Structure 1
Amino acid sequence: MATVTTGMLLVFGLIGVALVLFVTEWLPPDITAIGVLVSLVVFEPYTSVPPADAIAGFASSATVTIIAMYILSAGIQETGIVDRLGVHLARLTKGSERKLLGATVGTTGVAAGIINNTPVVAVFIPMITGIADRTHVSPSKLLLPLSYAAMLGGTLTLIGTSTNILASDLAAELAAQSPQQYPSLHAFSMFEFTPVGVVVLLVGSAYLLTIGRRLTPARIEPTADLTAEFDLDDHLSRVSVREESPLIGHVIDEADEMIETELDIEFDLLQVERDAETYFADSDHRLEAGDVLVARSTLQDLNRVTEAFDLRQRPRDSVEAVDLAGADEPGTLVEAITLPESRLVGRTVAEAKLEERFDTTVLAIRRGETLLQSDLGDVAIQAGDTLLLRSTPEAIEYLDESGAVVVTQRARSDRPHPDTPPENVAPLSAKTPLALGIMAAVIGAAALDLLPIVIAALGGVFAMVATGCLRANEAYDAVSWNVIFLLAGVLPLGVAMQRTGGAELIADLLVQSAAVLPVFGVLVLFYVLTGLLANVITPVASVVLLVPIAAETASSIGATAFTFVMVVMFAASSAFMTPIGYQTNLMVYGPGGYRFTDYVRVGAPLQALLSVVATATIVLYFGV
């Protein structure tokens, strides 16, 4: 067994601190990873990680390939072909929940094998939510299977998910360092493990359509009004302006500021209704006697406002989503989620200055099963939060396109027939064939070993931009830089584990399990361990930590290292049990109204099922 050294203990200590920070999210995971990188260099005499090796992750082929795949996926997304799938899904399913679930799982799973699964889910969330609304199906019954199907589909090809690319790169590095110890290891080809991925996708899909369908809760009522979803009955009110009100003669924004300043309360004046006309908060219309004001506030604050400014409450006149959407201002009330890379994350609602900069009011925030409706100015926005926004169509479009939020639902002034195609579906771009051809060329060049995957992907990026399928600024915006920094930051941790003997020590401990377990049992143990770690510290970090250990263990017991690495890679894509384990899980957390325990209830049986199915299929296909 490897000798325990000071450097080994130090690296284990850094891993422990990183695990705590990953789980508690006291810092964003990518910032934690950068802190680990810096710490490894500061303690170089013990960790054996010099500065050049610490920052090598930023130039690794895995990191560069993942950046390129984000851009290529954006190029495909810009064609509109993914959006058009919603039209066909709506027509094919015709309001049947079972058919809609089958179409969602089938379409997403296949698409995620070709396009990076994160942007696939980002596009599919509003599409699926819209179809669910039209067909009176709870979106909660569809969004969690959507995320799981995207994760399953990511196992189909090398480019399906970033963990596949990372595992391939780590395997190639280990083979280069110790060719005699790891003769079976090499960089993976495009479709090398596709047969295993097909089995995983089919078994996982069958589970989602049967047992998973029964376990997935309907947290959100299928026909729920957006204001009802966020339980705003006591926070949205109508009041009338009396003849003597001091607000008369002031524009809406001025009136709002007067109320907040004089009473020192949080009060949002959303719109004014006059003679069947509705005026938005940023308009220059001056208030008149008889105007009806629609406002967001607590009932206690509303009572103070009506008394101080001579207004009359209209308690029987409720405010619904259709009132805030309005036929003359379609889509101005929206539900949107914040992704980890959003610039809003970490800022309070007041610091984000959405009202001042974008005429956008945050009416409520859903965070898992918690609803926040008051004192929102002091609430710090977190990744995965679902925001109910009242804004202008132009501002919402800007916030959506800039990546600040992803719009998942828009309030309507009417409810369309289930067979009505989705709104605002743009026609396919004239460059659709070109973008698809570029993506096919990248896949073909890599699959036929004409070019390394990293070079083929970079060539595809050049072609996308050079041919006008994607603008240069759109290419940079398409990259989830937090994922890139997380990846580059944790890669040196794997290096330190190997150089200090930490990987060898853990492998020696796991080798002892081979004395009581068959090789298949050891593989299942690795699958379970990797899956559990992926649920709390992200798949990327679990792959970095466990691929070297898996290879070392295989070498020690005379098994095939390639098979062990494959098990780790597939297990890393099975982080089904927490919303924080994988980004797509976090993306559907708010829009589905899920509880944390829903992921355990639906995901744990699936993870247990695949620990046997995936491992057995890998053993049958690649041997031990």
Structure 2
Amino acid sequence: MTLPALPNEHALAVLLLTGLALILFSRDRIPLETSSLLILAALTIGFELFPFAPDGTPLHAVIFFQGFGNEALIAVCALMIAGQGILRTGALEPVGRSLGRIWRTSPVLSLLLTLILGAFISAFINNVPVVVLFLPVLISVSLTTGKSATPILMPMGFSTLLGGTGTTIGTSTNLLVVSVAAEMGAHSFGMFDFLVPAVIAGGIGIAYLWLIAPRLLPEREIAISQSSPRVFTAHLAITESSPVNGEPLHKALALTHGRMEVSALERGEGKPIMLLPDAVLHPGDHLVVSDTPNNLKEFERILKGTLYPVGSEDEPVDDDHPLCDDDQQIAEIALFQNSPLVGTTLKQYGFTDRFCIIALAIHRSGHRYLRVVDELRNLRLKVGDILLVQGPRDKIAELKQSREFVVLDATMDLPYQRKAPVALVIMLGIIITAALGVLPIAVSAPAGALLMILTGCLSWRDATRALSAQVILIVVASLALGIAMLKTGAADYLGALFTALAGSASPAFVISGLMLLMAVLTNIISNNAAAVIGTPIAISIANRMGLPPEAFVLAVLFGANMSFATPMAYKTNLLVMNAGEYAFSDFVKVGVPLALLMWGTLSFLLPAYYL
């Protein structure tokens, strides 16, 4: 075996810097943003102080900033904003409710359906909002059925990672690999060009997550962290547009799948009627219900009723009609000893006129159910009462500055529910135009993100919050390293070294080895960093072997997506770890066999399909 000669000094320096990047990216104590900027600064300063001119033309360091304008980064950022639009409008909530309903009837088949749905949605939408959607659904099911959630949360999280490998927009890693490969002259992959091997390998992975993974995980009780565990009592008023207008009470209970508990029924202020399943509901009727804030707002949406007095939604509480404002929040306020609200009622105090905020419900310790006549606006308030209120974001912020009561740490944004269909249409437009080749994803995604904002699905505040400085900087730093490796010949050297070490091994063996290397790296450092560093090496190896580069590029893509073995390998792993209270060893126990299963399957599929 003859090893290749060492490359030039600049290539060696880039390789050393790449090794430093791998170390920095794996350190939890150093923010990824800091590490990325450090690498970027080292590259630019180094090439300016020590010019590199391989063909007589100096390589200007400004080339390393091209990542900020790279089409992959533009597409990634735009898709993050569009995904936030889906999350902000609650467009996927009907999917979550349907899953919750099915889980209560057939848990085993429901787990399979959850895994398949999670994988399918994640092929087109960033998997973070998918995991955020499914986590409370599965935790709620575990509470209802009395079974532990730990055997199902991790498989659900991993299924979204499997689904993300199916298309070019499934993950930022895919976009980066495809983009870098195209810049280096390789085949430009279409959205579904590698769908077949992804579906076959993903199907095997889903079967493992369905049948085996839950048995490897311990059943333990987890401390459920909710935005508010407090139970509030509210009057849910029926409106003209409600689907239960003119229908019996039992239909309202059926629409909420039996989760809504009604303690009393009132027709007109202070006029109770018999609480019977066949009692017909009319506009203006009040259902006295007690539940958490999330559930109360969900019941309000399902029944199209109001938690505030009927008619209030059309009456301005200030000049801007705050109840019609899309930027709504709910918050909890507690009354202390010297609060002016103690001993009086909200109506007498003029709470709505003073603060331009509507009170929805009340939590009173030791009194879960209030008398029917005790409508919230007429209830005499006591020390320790906690009010659930709703209003525009700026009014909630002003409320926090008030010294008349304490705003508790349970403020929550409300989804722009009526914009959900618009958000879904926009997301479908992004996907379809890119899939059909009408527009490249780097064009359709920003256009879709702009439409999300123009149609009110998303505010600019939400859009900027959706962007991740960590993702942006690590993508730019990784692209800069890739350019440096390519221009200095470092990538060619690594390709030659890899080929020399492989000896006379078959292309299938080389592809398998490259994918395994990426799988190991992605669980130690950022998957994007592993992918961008690995792509130039893959193309160099393919060129040296005189073979089409597609299989080698996809080995990098699939290997860099095998983020199963450690919790820090991908952000959804951290979400699942926190919710399920998993140990590091749990990820190793379930993730390593899954990574090996995917590696073995794809080691057979990629050479067979592309060589």
TM bucket, shorter chain: 0.5 to 0.7
CA deviations 1:326-385 (Å, max 9, x no partner) are: 9599999xxxxxxxxxxxxxxxxxxxxxxx9899xxxxxxxxxxxxxxxxxxxxxxxxxx
Given that 1:152 and 1:201 are in contact with CA atoms closer than 8 Å, whether structure 2 keeps it comes out as: yes
Question: Once structures 1 and 2 are overlaid, which stretch shifts more, 95-104 or 476-485?
Answer: 95-104
* Alpha-carbon shift at residue 210 of structure 1 (Å): 1.6
Describe the SS at the equivalent of 2:221: coil
Other-structure match for 2:113: 103
The 1:615/1:394 distance shift into structure 2, 3 A limit, reads farther
Given that 1:7 and 1:47 are in contact with CA atoms closer than 8 Å, whether structure 2 keeps it comes out as: no
CA distance, structure 2, for counterparts of residue 192 and residue 393 of structure 1: 52
The 1:99/1:133 distance shift into structure 2, 3 A limit, reads farther
Amino acid at match of 1:221: E
CA distance, structure 1, for counterparts of residue 212 and residue 386 of structure 2: 36
* Alpha-carbon shift at residue 140 of structure 1 (Å): 1.4
CA distance, structure 1, for counterparts of residue 42 and residue 225 of structure 2: 47
1:138 aligns with 2:141: no
1:204 aligns with 2:205: yes
The 1:24/1:327 distance shift into structure 2, 3 A limit, reads farther
Question: Once structures 1 and 2 are overlaid, which stretch shifts more, 475-484 or 55-64?
Answer: 475-484
Amino acid at match of 2:31: P
1:430 aligns with 2:415: no
1:506 aligns with 2:506: no
CA distance, structure 2, for counterparts of residue 323 and residue 209 of structure 1: 43
Describe the SS at the equivalent of 1:25: coil
Larger Rg: 2
* Alpha-carbon shift at residue 207 of structure 1 (Å): 0.6
Given that 1:442 and 1:460 are in contact with CA atoms closer than 8 Å, whether structure 2 keeps it comes out as: yes
The 1:168/1:47 distance shift into structure 2, 3 A limit, reads farther
Other-structure match for 1:195: 196
Other-structure match for 1:493: 481
The 1:156/1:393 distance shift into structure 2, 3 A limit, reads farther
Given that 1:108 and 1:146 are in contact with CA atoms closer than 8 Å, whether structure 2 keeps it comes out as: yes
Given that 2:151 and 2:218 are in contact with CA atoms closer than 8 Å, whether structure 1 keeps it comes out as: yes
Percent identity over the alignment is 32
Structure 1 residues 348-363: aligned runs within 5 Å: none
Amino acid at match of 1:479: L
What is the aligned counterpart of 1:557 among 545, 550, 556?
Answer: 545
TM-score by length of 2: 0.68
Other-structure match for 2:33: 30
Other-structure match for 1:61: 71
CA distance, structure 2, for counterparts of residue 330 and residue 504 of structure 1: 70
CA distance, structure 2, for counterparts of residue 324 and residue 512 of structure 1: 73
The 1:476/1:226 distance shift into structure 2, 3 A limit, reads closer
CA distance, structure 1, for counterparts of residue 366 and residue 206 of structure 2: 37
CA distance, structure 2, for counterparts of residue 132 and residue 331 of structure 1: 28
1:221 aligns with 2:273: no
Describe the SS at the equivalent of 1:590: helix
Gaps of 5+ in 1: 176-184, 228-279, 288-321, 333-355, 360-390, 402-423
CA distance, structure 1, for counterparts of residue 407 and residue 203 of structure 2: 41
Question: Once structures 1 and 2 are overlaid, which stretch shifts more, 32-41 or 510-519?
Answer: 510-519
* Alpha-carbon shift at residue 225 of structure 1 (Å): 7.4
* Alpha-carbon shift at residue 283 of structure 1 (Å): 3.5
What is the aligned counterpart of 1:285 among 334, 337, 356?
Answer: 337
Given that 2:334 and 2:407 are in contact with CA atoms closer than 8 Å, whether structure 1 keeps it comes out as: no
Cα RMSD (Å) of the superposition? 3.1
Amino acid at match of 2:484: A
Structure 1 residues 25-424: aligned runs within 5 Å: 25-44=28-47, 46=50, 48=52, 50-94=60-104, 96-175=106-185, 185-218=186-219, 220-221=220-221, 283-285=335-337, 327=368, 395-398=409-412, 401=413
Describe the SS at the equivalent of 2:418: coil
CA distance, structure 1, for counterparts of residue 587 and residue 367 of structure 2: 36
Given that 1:577 and 1:599 are in contact with CA atoms closer than 8 Å, whether structure 2 keeps it comes out as: yes
Amino acid at match of 1:457: A
Given that 2:224 and 2:579 are in contact with CA atoms closer than 8 Å, whether structure 1 keeps it comes out as: no
* Alpha-carbon shift at residue 282 of structure 1 (Å): 5.6
* Alpha-carbon shift at residue 80 of structure 1 (Å): 1.8
The 1:154/1:584 distance shift into structure 2, 3 A limit, reads same
1:8 aligns with 2:22: no
* Alpha-carbon shift at residue 3 of structure 1 (Å): 3.3
CA distance, structure 2, for counterparts of residue 2 and residue 117 of structure 1: 44
CA deviations 1:198-244 (Å, max 9, x no partner) are: 112211100101221211222x326x6779xxxxxxxxxxxxxxxxx
* Alpha-carbon shift at residue 529 of structure 1 (Å): 0.3
Amino acid at match of 1:71: I
CA deviations 1:4-47 (Å, max 9, x no partner) are: 32222222222222222222223111220111000001110558
The 1:47/1:558 distance shift into structure 2, 3 A limit, reads farther
* Alpha-carbon shift at residue 496 of structure 1 (Å): 1.2
CA distance, structure 2, for counterparts of residue 606 and residue 454 of structure 1: 32
* Alpha-carbon shift at residue 393 of structure 1 (Å): 8.2
The 1:357/1:568 distance shift into structure 2, 3 A limit, reads farther
Given that 2:427 and 2:448 are in contact with CA atoms closer than 8 Å, whether structure 1 keeps it comes out as: yes
* Alpha-carbon shift at residue 123 of structure 1 (Å): 2.4
The 1:89/1:330 distance shift into structure 2, 3 A limit, reads farther
Corresponding pairs, count: 448
1:613 aligns with 2:605: no
The 1:225/1:592 distance shift into structure 2, 3 A limit, reads closer
* Alpha-carbon shift at residue 434 of structure 1 (Å): 2.4
Describe the SS at the equivalent of 1:186: coil
CA deviations 1:78-114 (Å, max 9, x no partner) are: 3323222221112112165423422321221111012
Amino acid at match of 1:155: T
CA distance, structure 2, for counterparts of residue 151 and residue 71 of structure 1: 20
CA distance, structure 1, for counterparts of residue 93 and residue 594 of structure 2: 29
CA distance, structure 1, for counterparts of residue 51 and residue 566 of structure 2: 32
Amino acid at match of 1:464: M
Other-structure match for 2:434: 446
Other-structure match for 1:363: none
The 1:90/1:59 distance shift into structure 2, 3 A limit, reads same
Given that 1:83 and 1:127 are in contact with CA atoms closer than 8 Å, whether structure 2 keeps it comes out as: no
* Alpha-carbon shift at residue 392 of structure 1 (Å): 8.2
Amino acid at match of 2:102: L
Gaps of 5+ in 2: 53-58, 227-331, 340-362, 370-383, 388-398
1:21 aligns with 2:24: yes
The 1:595/1:450 distance shift into structure 2, 3 A limit, reads same
Describe the SS at the equivalent of 2:528: helix
TM-score by length of 1: 0.66
